[in-house]
Chain A
């Protein structure tokens, strides 16, 4: 019984870490390239969960729903970047505050459309029975979420390191002025990165649905976790987002399981340590 508890909690932690990675990798990329923390990222995640709920209600299969929901959120993000953030180019403080304003609008529209009740997203039928290995039961769905997050991490790594788009994004992260000077269309990159980041957050929202449900306040629950991941891992670094996500996933999940009253307080400790000893984060490319 005792073993079962630790194994299940560990699995839950890494699965939650995978969800956090989907959320915070986009956040970190946007921060690295555009130098703004996108405070609407939690709202994008929640919007993804609600889109997923509605698509499932429309009798779409789970996996298509995750992709369509994610792309829907990505589209919202790209439009927001193109039509609102672009107007404030150069005024980074204004841009951050506008992302906050947008997050309130999204949260309130969600409340209007999907009401205040938590909406459960059922996991795909095939993944509902637990997986039995060596006498222990594992929740299959969470294992699959973890696998998807790992695949997404690998795909993002290849995208960043092996493609032209990735090279342009890396150039923009390292030296924006120079990237502009050699003819990289940086402002189009902004839209692309926003599309990518919001899509990842949206997919994370749909995949997180069966674990977390879609409920009002999901956005403000997830946003600080993404912030802490980026503070821990360092901004603009995929590896940082990856490692940070699993650290935060473990701490948050075990915190909730072992001392529910202080789960948030436990999160505070690694953040303090990193800020005091490594202000750039573990793998930071950009000074936050």
Chain B
């Protein structure tokens, strides 16, 4: 990490910690918690998309399985910690199984299979009235008290989410820098060569799929703690598509991209829904515009722009000098 990057990172971390003081209003602190939860989802899908080159359209399934498992286990009388661990374990196991199926087909088949699996999870949540309450959804009894701390008010919940998010971000950052991450990126760009070099491409992809499912499950439990409610709407195809769009919009090849994307989409969604009713159209339009005109996303786009501006400033004196000496 260069010094400039470290400074930027420290500034971001400080402002995230100071956020509840900076913006006082409970509404916006809650929105910040939401952004963090979605950012975690976008980061987890980006492990597949950005580093692995695999487009998953069923990522909301893990949010759903973890969320429903967490609520049901709590309702059945387990304590909150046991329920959360059970939920994440169950959902990660589901990811392991779904990964086995999805990776049977490389490329575009992967999109179809993840989509079909995601819709099946949605369909079960929607139809299994006795278990999930069907379309009406079910409530989570109360937020937990981690280490005896009460996180029922907005700023405290924000800090709880932020600490989970920080741990996740660190792990995913380590993941992206590790030899394992490098072999995943190798498998994305040159699967044949990686195979020749003795890497088990399938295993690398599958493990990534499981890890992505794990972090999405963590986000699912946070989602339930935040809303204290879960219904099939939260795990629809639209949700999966929004998560994917966050990663693409921000820039799938970067670590910070999905976070930026999650912030932009969540804010646009909340702001737009107060002015226009047609969020879905807007979502579709953003989708099309981003993919047609900004395929690399905001973060790489801005970095490029910044580099170009910097280069212009740097080159201008020398450029003029050559212009003068040229004739």
Is there a chain B Cβ closer than 8 Å to A87's Cβ? yes
Find A263's partner among B123, B287, B288 (CB 8 Å cutoff).
B123
CA distance A256 to B240 in the complex (A): 25
Quick one: given A37-B111, A265-B124, are A105 and B285 in contact (CB under 8 Å)? yes
Let me know if A100 and B57 touch, CB within 8 A.
yes
CA distance A31 to B55 in the complex (A): 17
Let me know if A97 and B109 touch, CB within 8 A.
no
Is there a chain B Cβ closer than 8 Å to A220's Cβ? yes
Let me know if A275 and B112 touch, CB within 8 A.
no
Let me know if B288 and A84 touch, CB within 8 A.
yes
Let me know if B284 and A108 touch, CB within 8 A.
yes
Let me know if A275 and B124 touch, CB within 8 A.
no
- B62-81 near A? 1/0 per residue, CB < 8 Å: 00000000000000000000
- A134-148 near B? 1/0 per residue, CB < 8 Å: 000000000000000
Let me know if A264 and B127 touch, CB within 8 A.
yes
Q: What band does the interface of chain A fall in when counting residues whose beta carbon is under 8 Å from B?
A: 35 or more
Is there a chain B Cβ closer than 8 Å to A118's Cβ? no
Quick one: given A91-B295, A108-B281, A275-B104, are A98 and B288 in contact (CB under 8 Å)? yes
Let me know if A96 and B292 touch, CB within 8 A.
no
Query: In the complex, which residues 252-283 of chain A have their Cβ closer than 8 Å to any Cβ of chain B?
Result: 260-265, 267-268, 271-272, 275-276, 279
Find B292's partner among A36, A98, A104, A268 (CB 8 Å cutoff).
A98
Let me know if A87 and B292 touch, CB within 8 A.
yes
Q: Which residue of A lies closest to B293 (CB)?
A: A87
Let me know if B244 and A261 touch, CB within 8 A.
no
Query: Which residues of B are found within 8 Å of A150, using beta-carbon distances?
Result: none
Is there a chain A Cβ closer than 8 Å to B11's Cβ? no
Interface of A with B (CB < 8 Å)?
A: 31, 35-37, 39, 84, 87-88, 91-94, 96-98, 100-105, 107-109, 111-112, 220, 223-224, 227-228, 230-231, 235, 260-265, 267-268, 271-272, 275-276, 279, 287-288
Extra contacts besides A105-B285, A112-B278, A262-B128 (15): CB < 8 Å: A93-B108, A104-B287, A107-B280, A224-B120, A224-B123, A227-B116, A231-B116, A262-B124, A263-B123, A264-B119, A268-B120, A271-B116, A275-B104, A275-B105, A287-B107
Quick one: given A37-B108, A94-B295, A288-B108, are A108 and B278 in contact (CB under 8 Å)? yes
Let me know if A88 and B291 touch, CB within 8 A.
yes
CA distance A179 to B161 in the complex (A): 55
Let me know if B119 and A88 touch, CB within 8 A.
no
Is there a chain A Cβ closer than 8 Å to B254's Cβ? no
Query: Which residues of B are found within 8 Å of A287, using beta-carbon distances?
Result: 105-107, 109
Let me know if A223 and B119 touch, CB within 8 A.
yes
Let me know if A96 and B281 touch, CB within 8 A.
no
Let me know if A104 and B283 touch, CB within 8 A.
yes
CA distance A50 to B119 in the complex (A): 23
CA distance A35 to B285 in the complex (A): 23
Q: Which residue of B lies closest to A84 (CB)?
A: B288
- What are some 11 contacts across the A-B interface (CB < 8 A)? A37-B108, A87-B292, A88-B291, A97-B291, A101-B283, A104-B283, A227-B116, A228-B116, A260-B127, A264-B126, A276-B104
